[in-house]
Structure 1
Amino acid sequence: MNAVAPQPSRLQLYLNLIRWDRPAGTWLLLWPTLSALWIAADGWPGWHLLLVFTLGTFLMRSAGCCVNDVADRDFDKHVKRTAQRPVTSGAVSVKEALLLGAGLALAAFGLVLTCNAPTILLSFAALAVACLYPYAKRVVNMPQAVLGVAFSFGIPMAFSAALGGSEWSLAAIGAAVPKSAWALLLANLFWVLAYDTEYAMVDRDDDIRIGIKTSALTLGRWDVRAVMAFYALYLAGWTALGLRLGLGRLYLAGIGAAALQVLWHYQLIKDRSRDGCFRAFRENHWLGFAVFIGTVADLSLR
């Protein structure tokens, strides 16, 4: 007689909901945000801003998972990889998930309130984009572009927190966030397009069957070449902007380490196997980490 598997506790279900055991998404958000924070501060940003952006990134990514799983619950049940997510399986109710997500977002907002006025104003735009993404895949052929904005919005917020003043106005945001910060956001968007297209390639067959729009489906047979082009645009953009902002050899070494990883990712995805594409997606945070380490090293050893 088979023993009945023990049911997970509510805490375990909530941890599963926010992907506690799969932190790759948090790292993908964190490394470009911290790179921007170091650049904006021209070096060590101080413990306060480091803690605000590190904890805030974790909280907002967790809140985003709650919203995403509620929005996708009717799609996820048709995909083997996602069918057992807590909301999709019914183990966690929609109300519970939304309340948890709201609580996490409020905690993140509490951290933002310790920053200056322009950063607080920018946080509302960041929240709006984060909430919009889960629904974009129903109407936008490249919803990964919306995710790219959401996952890159920590960049202008980092500049604002490091350089902003106390005025509550759009002009204050313009003064706190230079054009180079928005350019970094745009370049980072291409990285998000690269790794989230790899992610979409994993579920291509299921997405065709259930009618979800993704970049992998939109790009079709050009998907691998497009991913490589997205990586190239990301690295070229961050290289050019880093040099313009005064970064040097150690920063370029970090970019070089990231470029070597891109070549490895090509080997993983060129045959479009599910395992290869999923591994490429999961390992992407090391690419962002290489750029971050190069940034910190260059600014620290001037």
Structure 2
Amino acid sequence: MTGNDQTPEATGKVADAVQDNWVDRLAPAPARPYLRLSRADRPIGTWLLLLPCWWGLLLAMLHDGRATWFDLWILVSCALGAFLMRGAGCTWNDITDRHIDGSVARTASRPIPSGQVRVKQALVWLAAQTLVAFGILLTFNIAAIGLGVLSLLPVAIYPFAKRFTWWPQVFLGLAFNWGALLAWTAHTGRLELPAVILYVSGIAWTLFYDTIYAHQDAEDDALIGVKSTARLFGENTPKWLRWFLVATVSLQAGAVIMAVPDGRFLALLVAICGPWALGWHLQWQLRHFDASDNAGLLRLFRSNRNAGFLPMLFFAVALLL
């Protein structure tokens, strides 16, 4: 076996996938290219899509002071929907970016540019994931269903954003944090201001973590003319990350204060610790940020799963109180 046989293109593996992930080890060989197309071998994106859903659900339950068996279904269906819609979004992204991905070292091994999946096959896979997710959405109330359908708009626009704006991370934030609105509405039957503030907080969080992520591709993006906040900020990135950190914590704290009814002081005291715990983790990321260390950038980006769990845990404890 030659050295070239071990390249991602030769093995079918994707360059930035998690080492020894379940897709490469356990999935049937015919399914692997499609699961890679959905980023199932890189689960961090599913977590980043799911966590705002769970934030929204828990805050809605705190706001109402009640929990029902249907909330358990919302919790589970958000996880299923996050997996499916993240997969559909990534499939759409790879279809639209197939010519760009082949020119970037980190993405050249993806299924479409590497020839593992044809565009027509990818379109069928996109439709299948979207239809199953839509079936899950139909179990919610009419307001939540409407929000779910509307979420397709930022998902459809995002892959093109880096062609016309230096702020494509904003469009990613609009798409990735939609679950905060959806889960709140699925529980309460209506969209309210605390959910909107939580949503904007999530967008600021996305700007933080995806700017870090985009620094991995900054040199290649400059060569092919792709825009990003990483390229826009350059050496000033730490200053911008600090502003995104402050916005994330302040807005999420505001959402908590508006969500928890008057008189529930202990619940508010516990829940308000969630945004500060998230801020502490983002500050830790900021201290370790090094734009020249691609492996370190990827580690920081992936650590946002743990960062996003922190508010959820405090919200859950506050709900128990």
Q: Does 1:274 align with 2:308?
A: no
2:132 to 107, 116, 132: 107
Aligned-residue sequence identity (percent) comes to 34
TM-score, L = length of structure 1: 0.91
Question: CA distance change for structure 1 residues 200 and 271 in 2, over 3 Å: closer, same or farther?
Answer: closer
Whether the 8 Å contact between 1:28 and 1:288 is mirrored in structure 2 is yes
Runs of 4+ in 1 over 6 A off after TM superposition: 3-7
Query: Counterpart of 1:65?
Result: 90
Query: Counterpart of 2:149?
Result: 124
Query: Counterpart of 1:292?
Result: 312
| Distance in 1 separating the partners of 2:239 and 2:11 | 45
Q: Does 1:12 align with 2:37?
A: no
| Distance in 2 separating the partners of 1:281 and 1:232 | 18
Query: Counterpart of 1:216?
Result: 230
Query: Counterpart of 1:163?
Result: 188
Query: For residues 50-78 of structure 1, what are the alpha-carbon distances to aligned partners after superposition, in whole Å with 9 as ceiling and x for unaligned?
Result: 12211111110011110111111111111
Whether the 8 Å contact between 1:35 and 1:296 is mirrored in structure 2 is no
| Distance in 1 separating the partners of 2:297 and 2:79 | 28
Query: Counterpart of 1:30?
Result: 50
Whether the 8 Å contact between 1:253 and 1:294 is mirrored in structure 2 is yes
Query: Counterpart of 1:49?
Result: 74
| Distance in 2 separating the partners of 1:12 and 1:287 | 29
Task: Give the unaligned 5+ runs of structure 2.
Answer: 13-28, 261-266
1:143 to 125, 145, 168: 168
Higher mean alpha-carbon deviation, 235-244 vs 198-207, is at: 235-244
Give the C-alpha shift of residue 88 in structure 1: 1.2
Whether the 8 Å contact between 1:224 and 1:270 is mirrored in structure 2 is no
**1:232-247 counterparts in 2 under 5 A?**
232-246=246-260, 247=267
Task: Give the unaligned 5+ runs of structure 1.
Answer: 165-175
Query: For residues 145-170 of structure 1, what are the alpha-carbon distances to aligned partners after superposition, in whole Å with 9 as ceiling and x for unaligned?
Result: 01111011111111211111xxxxxx
Give the C-alpha shift of residue 272 in structure 1: 4.2
Query: For residues 90-142 of structure 1, what are the alpha-carbon distances to aligned partners after superposition, in whole Å with 9 as ceiling and x for unaligned?
Result: 11011111211111011100000111111111112101211110111111110
Question: CA distance change for structure 1 residues 135 and 36 in 2, over 3 Å: closer, same or farther?
Answer: same
Q: Does 1:21 align with 2:41?
A: yes
| Distance in 2 separating the partners of 1:147 and 1:271 | 21
Equivalent residue pairs, number: 290
1:79 to 104, 112, 117: 104
| Distance in 2 separating the partners of 1:189 and 1:117 | 25
Give the C-alpha shift of residue 2 in structure 1: 4.6
Question: CA distance change for structure 1 residues 99 and 224 in 2, over 3 Å: closer, same or farther?
Answer: same
RMSD: 1.8
Give the C-alpha shift of residue 7 in structure 1: 6.3
Whether the 8 Å contact between 1:137 and 1:143 is mirrored in structure 2 is yes
Query: Counterpart of 2:273?
Result: 253
